């Protein structure tokens, strides 16, 4: 291994890379746009992959040795719905002019792609015969879609191809700038990098910049990789690195658009939750609203994980340093990772608040049910007591015996023992009820007595982990003294007792 600080050996036939570095003349500009359209199999125009079936990226993009991995995980990566060649001579921009800049657009390609979440994205690629600085006005036009092809705006052109009735370009978009740099002298300077990424041909102070420079993309002396929130510049890399970066941008733009939609819905549900009317609303109405919010939060949490957090990890699917380094840096530069964590915490807090409110409603409904049950039991008990008493009385007077005189009134004092017996039975029933109630209250007081923590936590841990619990008896056995390996010093002879007495 070469010592630290020694530059790499020059490239020769023996150590040439498997995939050659790009050697195109000019600059390639690719702008990826998020749309509000969603892909449903069979509902879109025929793409290169067949009617209603998107094509895998390896069939249309040079991915080198990574093509097998992209095809293996095709359901987790973007796919191509349609690739359309445009006439570059009909492309008209608002700010940039080919005649004014002494440049020209050589090729123009419009891509229709779909993310794993079903979102449709557009990508416009232009090959321009111009240096980097001269492309800044064109980058500005591409970012805001201020261009037309054959007299038709980009948004209307894309809507007609996918069968949409209304334009649907969203605010999320990212630009890629590719260029060859065969020698270190062709590598753009730091000032050129910041001018291209910020789309402003103005000087800037380098200490105040949000441009990210991944190590793996800048490891070679002839390669450059710089990322900003809205544009990326890659020079001197191989085709598979550029195409992998293109697919990463498609995923990141789709994730950013979905993240914004999730945030908008989460804010809407938060306002509904805060503005709910608990005073005049019935528990059933409150429960219905909270169940609707909770169900929606579950869908948002799942969509956040599937469309935003999972696509942020490319290293699990593609074992390559530069594509995965760019993918991770892109999500961080666009702020998708940080914002996803904040929105996830917001969803969790809203879900916890809704769950607490549902618990409160359940408690109120339980108290209402208990009161209703008490009223029902009281009414049934009253009816049962009256009917049982009358049943006993009428049963006595209905017997055919000498104790019942048909010529006496039922209220005659002769029947006092009978009424006394019935009253005694009722009194004994109430006494039995009072006794059982007292027993229940005593048991409830015993149950409410707090137990030491070790009765719950320690006993559970001991049972699960195989530990032991002492019964609380203090340890009174004296411990043996510590032994000192050093020899003990010889004791000092004490003075004779008589002399000590004299001294005292």
2: confidence class by pLDDT, cuts 50, 70, 90: very low
Are 318 and 70 in contact by the 8 Å Cβ rule? The answer is: yes
CA distance 405 to 318: 105
Residue range 424-478, pLDDT digits in tens: 877 887 787 788 778 777 776 776 555 565 556 767 777 777 776 666 555 554 5
Q: Which residue has the tokens 């103005």?
A: 202
Instruction: Report residue 207 as tokens.
Output: 């200490």
CA distance 347 to 273: 12
Element spanning 105, H or E: strand 105-114
Lowest-pLDDT range, 158-162, 269-273, 349-353, 371-375?
A: 371-375
Q: Which residue has the tokens 């009735």?
A: 165
Tell me what pLDDT residue 39 has: 81
Are 48 and 55 in contact by the 8 Å Cβ rule? The answer is: yes
Lowest-pLDDT range, 72-81, 308-317, 437-446?
A: 437-446
CA 233 remoteness from chain centre: 30
Q: In terms of C-beta density within 10 A (0-12 exposed, 13-18 middle, 19 or more buried), how is residue 229 classed?
A: middle
Are 178 and 263 in contact by the 8 Å Cβ rule? The answer is: no
The torsion angle over the Cα atoms of residues 392, 394, 395 and 396, rounded to 10 degrees, is 90
For 210, half-sphere exposure in the C-beta direction (CA atoms, 13 angstrom radius) is 10
**Average pLDDT, stretch 28-38?**
94
CA distance 112 to 158: 8
Instruction: Report residue 55 as tokens.
Output: 């094509």
- Between 286 and 332, the higher pLDDT residue: 332
CA distance 230 to 172: 9
Tell me what pLDDT residue 34 has: 94
Residue range 354-377, pLDDT digits in tens: 888 888 777 777 877 777 787 788
Where residue 120 falls (left for φ over 0; alpha for ψ -120 to 50; beta otherwise) is beta
**Averaged confidence pLDDT in the chain:** 80
Which residue in 192, 163, 194, 158 sits closest to 173, CA to CA?
Answer: 158
Element spanning 269, H or E: helix 239-274
Lowest-pLDDT range, 160-164, 278-282, 332-336?
A: 278-282
The residue length of the chain stands at 504
Lowest-pLDDT range, 158-167, 369-378, 425-434, 492-501?
A: 492-501
């Amino acid at each position: 291994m070469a010592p630290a600080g020694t530059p790499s050996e020059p490239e020769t036939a023996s150590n040439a890379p498997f995939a050659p570095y790009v050697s195109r003349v000019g600059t390639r500009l690719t702008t990826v746009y998020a749309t509000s359209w969603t892909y449903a199999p069979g509902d879109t125009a025929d793409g290169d992959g067949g009617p209603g079936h998107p094509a895998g990226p390896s069939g249309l993009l040079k991915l080198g040795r990574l093509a097998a991995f992209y095809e293996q995980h095709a359901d987790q990566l973007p796919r191509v719905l349609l690739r359309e060649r445009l006439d570059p001579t009909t492309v008209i921009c608002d700010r940039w002019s080919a005649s004014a800049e002494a440049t020209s657009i050589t090729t123009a390609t419009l891509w229709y792609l779909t993310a794993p979440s079903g979102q449709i994205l557009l990508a416009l690629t232009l090959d321009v015969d111009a240096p980097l600085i001269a492309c800044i006005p064109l980058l500005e036009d591409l970012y805001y879609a201020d261009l037309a092809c054959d007299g038709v705006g980009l948004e209307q052109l894309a809507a007609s191809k996918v069968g949409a009735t209304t334009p649907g370009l969203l605010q999320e978009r990212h630009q890629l700038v590719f260029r060859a740099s065969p020698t270190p002298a062709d590598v753009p300077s730091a000032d050129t990098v910041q001018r291209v990424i910020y789309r402003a041909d103005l000087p800037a102070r380098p200490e105040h910049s949000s441009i990210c420079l991944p190590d793996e993309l800048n490891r070679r002396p002839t390669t450059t990789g710089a990322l900003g929130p809205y544009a990326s510049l890659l020079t001197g890399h191989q085709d598979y690195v550029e195409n992998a970066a293109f697919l990463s941008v498609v995923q990141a733009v789709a994730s950013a658009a979905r993240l914004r939609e999730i945030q908008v819905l989460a804010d809407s549900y938060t306002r509904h939750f805060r503005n709910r009317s608990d005073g005049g609303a019935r528990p059933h109405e409150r429960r219905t609203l909270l169940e609707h919010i909770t169900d929606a939060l579950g869908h948002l949490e799942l969509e956040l994980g599937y469309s935003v957090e999972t696509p942020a990890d490319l290293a699990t699917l593609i074992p390559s340093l530069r594509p995965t380094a760019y993918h991770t840096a892109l999500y961080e530069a666009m702020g998708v990772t940080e914002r996803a964590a904040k929105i996830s915490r917001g969803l969790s807090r809203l879900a916890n608040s809704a769950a607490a409110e549902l618990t409160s409603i359940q408690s109120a409904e339980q108290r209402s049910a208990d009161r209703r049950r008490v009223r029902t039991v009281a009414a049934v008990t009253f009816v049962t007591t009256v009917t049982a008493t009358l049943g006993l009385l009428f049963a006595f007077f209905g017997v055919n015996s000498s104790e019942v005189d048909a010529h006496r009134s039922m209220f005659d004092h002769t029947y006092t023992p009978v009424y006394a017996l019935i009253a005694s039975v009722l009194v004994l029933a109430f006494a039995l009820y009072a006794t059982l109630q007292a027993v229940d209250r005593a048991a409830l007081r015993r149950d409410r007595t707090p137990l030491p923590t070790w009765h719950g936590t320690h006993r559970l841990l001991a049972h699960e982990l195989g530990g032991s619990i002492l019964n609380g008896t203090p340890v009174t056995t004296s411990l043996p003294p510590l032994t000192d390996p050093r020899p003990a010093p010889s004791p000092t002879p004490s003075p004779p007792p008589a002399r000590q007495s004299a001294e005292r």
